[in-house]
């Protein structure tokens, strides 16, 4: 089974994505699984008003809990009291 076959069109998933301007910043973001508009045979993530090919390069999770657990494993707990906006 290929990576694309793990997800269905219309499914809401959660991805861990890094800030392209600051690689030390990452967050969990909700995305939709859709057919890629330029290649209907390929699945895509619709995220930030952009289509990204659904590949193994993205850390994709079926639930927010699973994504947050993976985030904490990779990056540790956020220091909320140090956050100033």
**What Cα–Cα distance (Å) separates residue 35 from each residue in 21, 54, 76, 85?**
28, 10, 34, 36
The domain limits of the chain are 3-75
Helix (H, G, I), strand (E, B), or coil: what is residue 74? Answer: helix
pTM over 0.85? The answer is no
pLDDT for the residue 4: 63
Task: From 11, 32, 15, select the one nearest 67 (Cα to Cα).
Answer: 15
The model's pLDDT over 33-83, given as tens digits with 9 standing for 90+, comes to 999 999 888 999 999 899 999 988 888 999 999 999 998 888 776 554 444
């Amino acid at each position: 089974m290929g990576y694309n076959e793990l997800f269905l069109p219309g499914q809401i998933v959660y991805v861990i994505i890094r800030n392209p301007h600051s690689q030390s910043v990452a967050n969990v973001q909700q995305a939709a699984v859709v057919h890629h508009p330029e290649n209907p045979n390929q699945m895509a993530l619709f995220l930030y008003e952009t289509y990204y090919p659904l590949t193994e390069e993205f850390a994709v999770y079926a639930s927010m809990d699973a994504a947050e657990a993976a985030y904490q494993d990779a990056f540790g707990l956020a220091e909320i009291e140090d956050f100033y906006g």
